[in-house]
């Protein structure tokens, strides 16, 4: 018995001394934003006991994947509220996953919104459109939360720009300006794809800022350090805007073709 007490003291004593190290590890994990929300009673009720146990045993990623795959099944069955619940839950479990925020908002603004608009239960077409816009608005608010969680990567800024361009431009006059703003923020990241730059220029033009769009296309043309750039598109746009804006010959990149 004395030996067991001694062994217990050997385990507990130095372990107490390790408490500051454990606190430091926890603080670093918080600072580096590892993990997600803790497994509260509320979360446990939503995901079930078995899944909660898997979560507690350290399989957060696997649990999130299972819920994500399940949300795909809900989509196929047109059970949008259940799908939405799973998407929200997955982003709570892994708030640092770009994938879940990005594809989640796409489901809401594109798939669920379309499903809600064309739902036979809608009494009028206007009711369907109202429901569609509500889902698009929900997607925007969802994506905003995603950006707050992951402000250090370009992906969600681009997704937000694309959402404004594709969905809000139909019913909000300032949508293209907002799209350009978000594309511009995505472009601040060095790993942002070149296609976002081209979209940014298009969005500027659609927002009524043709001069700014031209200046951007011109800048793209003059930047030769991009081997994968779609030069044919850049050339076409520069030429078109030089003609449309009647740019003086001494400022042009391409001289106008003479008849």
Binding site for other proteins (CB under 8 A): 3-4, 6-8, 10-12, 14-16, 18-19, 21-22, 24-26, 28-29, 32-35, 38-39, 53, 56-62, 64-65, 68-69, 72, 94, 96-99, 103, 153, 193-195, 228, 230, 233
Taking the least distance from each CB to other proteins, the nearer of 57 and 219 is 57
Q: How far is the CB of 76 from other proteins (least distance, A)?
A: 10
Cα within 13 Å of Cα(170), Cβ side = 10
Q: How far is the CB of 220 from other proteins (least distance, A)?
A: 14
Taking the least distance from each CB to other proteins, the nearer of 103 and 127 is 103
Q: Own/partner pairs for 167-175, CB < 8 Å, 24+ apart?
A: 167/109, 167/110, 167/113, 167/136, 167/139, 168/136, 168/140, 169/206, 171/133, 174/207
Q: How far is the CB of 63 from other proteins (least distance, A)?
A: 9
Q: How far is the CB of 215 from other proteins (least distance, A)?
A: 23
Contact status, residue 179 vs residue 169, Cβ threshold 8 Å: yes
Taking the least distance from each CB to other proteins, the nearer of 149 and 169 is 149
Taking the least distance from each CB to other proteins, the nearer of 65 and 79 is 65
Q: How far is the CB of 94 from other proteins (least distance, A)?
A: 6
**17 burial via Cβ count (<10 Å: 0-12, 13-18, 19+):** exposed
Taking the least distance from each CB to other proteins, the nearer of 62 and 219 is 62
């Amino acid at each position: 018995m004395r030996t067991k007490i001694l062994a217990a003291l050997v385990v507990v004593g130095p372990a107490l001394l390790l408490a500051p190290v454990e606190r430091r590890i926890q603080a670093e994990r918080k600072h580096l934003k590892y993990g997600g929300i803790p497994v509260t009673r509320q979360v446990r009720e939503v995901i079930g006991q078995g899944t909660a146990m898997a979560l507690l045993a350290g399989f957060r990623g696997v649990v999130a994947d299972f819920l994500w795959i399940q949300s795909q099944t809900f989509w196929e069955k047109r059970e949008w509220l259940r799908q939405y619940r799973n998407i929200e839950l997955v982003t709570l479990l892994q708030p640092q996953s770009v994938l879940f925020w990005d594809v989640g908002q796409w489901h809401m603004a594109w798939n669920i919104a379309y499903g809600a608009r064309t739902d036979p239960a809608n009494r009028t077409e206007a009711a369907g459109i109202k429901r569609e816009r509500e889902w698009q608005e929900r997607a925007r608010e969802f994506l905003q939360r995603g950006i707050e969680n992951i402000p250090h990567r370009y992906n969600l800024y681009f997704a937000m720009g694309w959402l404004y361009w594709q969905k809000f431009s139909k019913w909000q006059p300032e949508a293209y300006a907002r799209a350009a703003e978000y594309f511009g923020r995505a472009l601040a990241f060095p790993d942002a794809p070149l296609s976002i730059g081209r979209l940014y220029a298009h969005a500027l033009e659609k927002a009524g800022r043709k001069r700014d769009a031209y200046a951007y296309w011109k800048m793209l043309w003059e930047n030769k350090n991009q081997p994968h750039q779609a030069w044919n598109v850049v050339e076409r746009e520069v030429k078109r805007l030089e003609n449309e804006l009647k740019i003086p010959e001494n400022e042009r990149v391409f001289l106008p073709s003479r008849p």
